Chains A and B, each alone.
Chain A
Amino acid sequence: MRGRLAALVLVAGTLAPRSSHACAVCFSGADGARVAFLLTTALLTVLPLALLGGFAWWLRRRMRELDSDAREDVPVETPQSR
Chain B
Amino acid sequence: MAETVHPAEQAAHGEHHEEGWVKKYLFSTDHKIIAMQYLFTGMAMGLIGAFFAYVFRMQLAFPGMEVPFFGVVSANEYNSLITNHGAIMIFWVAMPVLIAAFGNFLIPLMIGADDMVFPRINRLSYQIFFISALVLLASFFVEGGGFGGAWTAYPPLSANAAYSLTPMGATLWLVAVALEFVAFLLGGINFVTTLMNSRTKGMGIYDIPMVLWMIIIASILFMASVGPLIAGAVMLFMDQQVGTHFYDPTRGGDPLLWQHLFWFFGHPEVYVVLLPAMGIVADIMPVFARKKLFAYRTILWTAIGTGVLSFTVWAHHQFIAGIDPRMAHVFTITTLLISIPIAEMCFVYIATLYGGSIRLNTPMLWALAFVAEFLIGGVTGIFLGASGADIYFHDTYFVLAHFHYTFFPIAIIGTYAGVTFWFPKMFGRMMNDTLGKIHFWGTIIPFNLIFIPLFVLGAAGQHRRIYDFTNYPMLAEPWMQDLRVLATVSLVVMLAFQLVFFYNVIVSLVRGEKAGKNPWKSNTLEWTTESPPPHGNFGDQYPTVYRPPYEYSHPDREEDYWPQNLPN
Whether chain A touches chain B in the assembled complex (some CB pair under 8 Å) = yes
Interface residues of A in 25-44 (CB under 8 A from B): 25-26, 33-34, 37-38, 40-41, 44
List residues of chain B with CB within 8 A of the CB of A24. 256, 321-324
Complex CA gap A38/B161 in Å reads 31
Using an 8 Å CB-CB cutoff, how does the interface string of A12-32 with B read, 1 for contact, 0 for none?
A: 011110011111111000000
Q: Does B326 contact A (CB under 8 A)?
A: yes
Q: Which residue of the partner chain A has the closest CB to B329?
A: A14
Q: What chain B residues lie within 8 Å of A34 (beta carbons)?
A: 324
Q: Please name all residues of chain B whose beta carbon is closer than 8 Å to the beta carbon of A6 when the two chains form the complex.
A: none
Q: How far is the CA of A49 from the CA of B311 in the complex (A)?
A: 8
CB of A76 within 8 A of chain B? no
Kindly list chain A residues whose C-beta atoms are within 8 Å of the C-beta of B225. Answer: 48
Q: Across the interface, do B264 and A44 meet the contact criterion of CB distance under 8 Å?
A: yes
Check if A74 is an interface residue, CB within 8 A of chain B: no
In the complex, are the beta carbons of B323 and A51 less than 8 A apart?
no
> Are the C-beta atoms of A25 and B256 separated by less than 8 Å?
yes
What 1/0 flags go to A54-82 for Cβ under 8 Å of B? 00000000000000000000000000000
Collect the chain B residues with CB atoms within 8 Å of residue A41's CB.
260, 315, 327
Does B254 have its Cβ within 8 Å of any Cβ on chain A? yes
Min CB distance B271 to A, Å, is 13
Residue A5 interfacial (CB < 8 Å): no
Query: Which listed residue (A23, A25, A52) contacts B224, Cβ 8 A?
Result: A52
Query: What chain A residues lie within 8 Å of B260 (beta carbons)?
Result: 37, 40-41
- A8 interfacial contact with B, CB 8 Å: no
Judge whether B144 is part of the interface by a CB distance below 8 angstroms.
Answer: no
Task: Say yes or no: is B220 at the interface (Cβ < 8 Å to chain A).
Answer: yes
Judge if B312 is at the interface, Cβ distance under 8 Å: yes
Say yes or no: B224 contacts A20, CB within 8 Å: no
Number of A-B contacts (CB under 8 A): 52
> Which of B228, B256, B311, B325 is most buried by chain A, counting CB atoms within 10 A of its CB?
B325
* Residues in chain A near residue B321, CB distance under 8 A: 24
Distance (Å) between the CB of B181 and the closest chain A CB? 16
| Residue of B whose beta carbon sits closest to that of A19 | B326
B330 within 8 A of A: yes
Point out the residue from B220, B312, B323 that lies within 8 Å of A45, measured CB to CB: B312
Inter-chain contacts of B254 with A (CB < 8 A):
33
Residues of B within 8 A of A20 (CB): 324-326
Query: Is A11 an interface residue when CB atoms closer than 8 A count as contact?
Result: yes
For window 304-338 of chain B, which residues contact chain A by CB distance below 8 Å? 308, 311-312, 315, 321-327, 329-330
A40 to B232, CA, bound (A): 14
Q: In whole Å, how far is B196's beta carbon from the nearest beta carbon of chain A?
A: 9
Quick check: A14 and B322 within 8 Å, CB to CB?
Answer: no
Please, how many angstroms separate the alpha-carbon atoms of A33 and B249 in the complex? 13
Complex CA gap A15/B324 in Å reads 11
Chain A residues within 8 Å of B224, by CB: 48, 51-52
Chain B contact surface mostly: helix
Asked whether A25 and B323 contact (CB < 8 A) given A41-B260, A41-B315, A51-B224, the answer is yes
B535 CB, nearest partner CB in chain A, Å: 32
Of B228, B308, B323, B330, which is within 8 A of A37 by CB?
A: B323
Interface size on A, residues (CB 8 A): 26
* Bound CA span A22–B321, Å: 10
Contact of A14 with B330 at beta-carbon distance under 8 Å, contacts A24-B322, A44-B228, A44-B264 already known = yes
| A38→B256 CA distance, assembly (Å) | 13
A37 touches B324 (CB 8 A): yes
Q: Which B residues are CB-close (under 8 A) to A25? A: 256, 322-324
Which B residues are CB-close (under 8 A) to A11? 329
**A1–B129 CA distance with the chains assembled, in angstroms:** 57
A49 → chain B, closest Cβ, in Å? 6
Q: Measured between alpha carbons, how far is A33 from B324 in the docked complex, in Å?
A: 10
Bound: A13/B329 CA distance, A: 10
CB within 8 Å for A10 and B311 given contacts A24-B256, A52-B220: no
CA–CA, A19 and B325, complex, Å: 10
- By beta carbon, the residue of chain B nearest A24 is B322
Q: Which of A15, A21, A40, A48 contacts B325 (CB 8 A)?
A: A21
Complex CA–CA separation, A36 to B161 (angstroms): 29
In the bound assembly, the distance between CA atoms of A45 and B334 in angstroms comes to 12
By a CB distance below 8 angstroms, the chain A residues around B322 are 24-25
A59 — nearest CB in chain B belongs to which residue?
B196
- Chain A residues with Cβ below 8 Å from B312 are 45
Residue numbers in B under 8 Å from A38 (CB-CB) = 324, 327
Q: Complex: how many Å from CA A37 to CA B321?
A: 14
CA distance A2 to B256 in the complex (A): 36
Alpha-carbon gap, A64 to B198, bound state (A): 20
B187 to chain A, nearest CB (A): 18
Indicate if the CB atoms of B311 and A22 lie closer than 8 Å.
Answer: no
B220 touches A15 (CB 8 A): no
A44 to B324, CA, bound (A): 17
Q: Which residues of B contact A22 (CB under 8 A)?
A: 325
Chain B positions within 8 Å of A44 at CB level: 228, 264, 311
What are 20 A-to-B residue pairs whose CB atoms are below 8 Å? A14-B326, A14-B329, A15-B326, A16-B326, A20-B324, A20-B326, A23-B324, A24-B322, A24-B323, A24-B324, A25-B323, A33-B254, A37-B323, A37-B324, A38-B327, A41-B260, A45-B311, A48-B311, A49-B311, A52-B220
New A-B pairs, 12, CB < 8 Å, besides A24-B322, A52-B224: A13-B326, A14-B327, A16-B326, A26-B324, A37-B256, A38-B327, A40-B260, A44-B264, A44-B311, A45-B312, A49-B311, A51-B224
**10 nearest A-B residue pairs (beta carbon):** A48-B224, A24-B322, A14-B329, A14-B326, A44-B264, A25-B324, A45-B311, A20-B325, A45-B312, A20-B326
Chain B residues near A (Cβ < 8 Å)? 220, 224-225, 228, 254, 256, 260, 264, 308, 311-312, 315, 321-327, 329-330
Instruction: Point out residues on A near B: beta carbons under 8 Å.
Output: 10-11, 13-16, 19-26, 33-34, 37-38, 40-41, 44-45, 48-49, 51-52
